[in-house]
Amino acid sequence: MPTVSINSLDHEKFQDLVRRKRIVSVILSTLMLAIYFGFILVLAFRKDLLAVKVGEHLTLGVPVGLAVIISACVLTGVYVTWANSAYDDAVTRIVGNMKEK
Amino acid sequence: MNEFTSSIGQPNAVSIGFFLAFVLATLVITYYAAQRSKTASQFYAAGRSVTGLQNGIALAGDYMSAASFLGIAGLVSLKGYDGLIYSIGFLVGWPIIMFLIAEPLRNLGKYTFADVVAYRLKQKPIRIAASCGSLMTVAFYLIAQMVGSGSLVKLMFGLPYEAAVVVVGVIMIAYVLFGGMLATTWVQIIKAVLLLGGASIVVFMVLARFDYNPVNLFDAAVLKYGDKVLEPGGLVSNPWDALSLGIALMFGTAGLPHILMRFYTVPDAKAARKSVLYATGLISYFYILTFIIGFGAMVLVGQDVIIGFDKGGNMAAPLLAEVTGGIMFLGFIAAVAFATILAVVAGLTLAGATTFSHDLYANVFRTGRSTEENEVKMAKRATVALGILAIGLGIAFKGQNVAFMVGLAFAIAASANFPALLLSIMWKRFSTVGATASIAVGAVLAVGLIIISPTVWVDVLGNAQAIFPWKNPALISLPAAFAAGWLGSVLVPDEGAEARYENQRVRNYLGVGAE
């Protein structure tokens, strides 16, 4: 049975994979942090902005809050889409090579 | 609006009936799961047979506690918009789990997050430290839930507090002892479906009265209670306290042991990824529901009535169910709330027992000399002991204001558990001393600062002025934990750990060698 050997790891491809994943993780995390803490900071320092009316009684805060929730789902979806395609393909190729040797 | 007399507070045949049906169904599942809960892999991780979707639902179930459902709906009903701020805080930790934690956790560990922290470091000190962080988080969360269960049952059915705590404790012990992770997973799934289904029906029935347009509901709320219900209010007045709370909620989610443990029930990292996606979606949906339920209760039940039953507003959702769907619906929602508590405490007890038997017993006391059989036996004994302890503590803390304990659990998770976990995954030079320091500093600061904060020093201990001004310590304790981790690693490096980092990376990113 072919064993997976770390000696036959294609280091260059692996480093590339690691780098790309790190970049994606960091960018998406930063976006989520920015959105969420941006929201918190507005609440803390300029909550009047969220009290602005956008309808007869509806305030800006409600759609903004909803947008924060949706952004969490969207960012998560973006990650999964990328990971399930580009990332997993790369992993399969690298591990496949490791098995052959 | 007419005088509204509610059935809340009297034994309700409908809710008891629904609840018994839930308990019966879940005990049957536990019986079947018992055949498949013999090995360590089965008891701790359901034999890794849970699918991404199932785990996603179970994760959401584990996370949506009665405190969220009743508490947040109640908060929204009394304070309006501010409730949404809490909800958002509870949600945003999940993307962080997805981007930074889920896959590395699954690939590098076996049953607990301590597996990952201790992956290339010295086992004993890390296991002990991580177990302490884990057990502290579980303990505080569990006490809060047990006290909540007693109060809830007393409030809803008029049954004695102690009896309620004992019933919850005994059933939860049965789930975990006989069915392990497999049973608790299915209990979570069933409860999540019931909770989301029930809440959806409440929302549907509320919106039906407003032409299915939520904006009409909000308008009615403003007409009844003024503009302030749609405006951010006093919840985030102090900016530093707000930041601190935000940090605790976001990163604490990624450090909750009973949540992290669920990642080991799926076969691989890809399934772990899927779980988080489903969980995030379901939890988002849930918090949108609770927002509407809160406003529905505000308008259709009225704040006076809600406060009349419970000052914290916890009866808002059940009252709304009764107003829109009568006593049958109230019974259903009440049973769901009770089931929710039961499911969450089962998950917490399993997490505690696993930490005890896998991290402490197998890896510290018996240093790898114990057999799998012994480990599982130990886990089962720990389950019973923990369950009895939980019942005892639930009764001991009767009447105490334990709401701060959930905040404390999150603060500890964010400060003691999360930094060490993240650094261990991502930083090559993270050393054993660094990890131990990080966990210790995080835990001590989180607990210490909360004790001298207004929530404990003033509200619980009765002093005049708090020594520490904010309600939440995470703004201090989390960065301090990261700093301690850095300092400890720089001062006392661990060459063996550095050398093992490359192997860890291969396993982390490629899943090669994952268990």
Distance CA B148, CA B73 (A): 15
Tokens 């296991």 correspond to B127
Q: Cβ A36–B230 below 8 Å, yes or no?
A: no
CB contact under 8 A, B91 and A69: yes
* pLDDT confidence of residue B2: 43
Report the alpha-carbon angle A16-A22-A28, nearest 5. 135
Please, what's the b/e burial string for B75-89 (b: 16 or more CB within 10 A of its CB; e: otherwise)? bbbbbbbbbbbbbbb
Residue B378, judged by CB atoms within 10 A of its CB (0-12, 13-18, 19+), counts as buried
Nearest to A76 among B98, B250, B503 (CB): B98
Per-residue pLDDT tens digits of chain A, which is 101 residues long: 455 666 778 888 999 999 999 999 999 999 999 999 999 999 888 889 999 999 889 999 999 999 999 999 999 999 999 999 999 999 999 988 887 65
- From B100's Cα to the closest Cα of chain A, the distance in A is 6
| Block residue for tokens 């059933």 | B171
Alpha carbon distance B62, A17 (integer Å): 33
Interacting residues of B34 by C-beta distance below 8 A, sequence separation 6+: B178, B179, B183
**Among the listed residues B55, B52, B106, the one whose alpha carbon sits nearest the alpha carbon of residue B421:** B106
Q: Per residue in B501-513, is it b (16+ CB within 10 Å) or e — as a string?
A: beebbbbbbbbbe
Instruction: For chain B, give the longest Cα–Cα distance.
Output: 74
CA–CA separation, B181 and B347 (whole Å): 8
Is the ipTM higher than 0.90? The answer is yes
Which chain A positions have a beta carbon within 8 Å of B287's beta carbon? 69
The pLDDT tens digits for B191-242 are 999 999 999 999 999 999 999 999 999 999 999 999 999 998 877 678 888 8
Q: Are B463 and B412 within 8 A, CB to CB?
A: no
Please name the residues in contact with B50: beta carbons below 8 A apart, sequence gap of 6 or more.
B58, B185, B265, B266
Structure tokens at B386: 């923990």
Q: What is the DSSP string of B268-303?
A: SHHHHHHHHHHHHHHHHHHHHHHHHHHHHHHHHT-H
Cβ-contact B342, B170 below 8 angstroms = no
Predicted TM-score (pTM) of the model is 0.93
Nearest to A79 among B98, B238, B510 (CB): B98
Contacts of B499 in chain A (CB under 8 A): none
Count Cβ–Cβ pairs < 8 Å, chain A vs chain B.
142
Minimum-distance CB partner of B512 among A17, A47, A95: A95
Whether B468 has a pLDDT exceeding 50, the answer reads yes
Q: Which of A69, A83, A88 sits opposite B284 (nearest CB)?
A: A69
Residues of A in contact with B222 (CB under 8 A): 57
Residue pair B379/B357 in contact by the 8 Å Cβ criterion? yes
Residue of A nearest to B239 (CA): A44
B338 pLDDT tier (thresholds 50, 70, 90) = confident
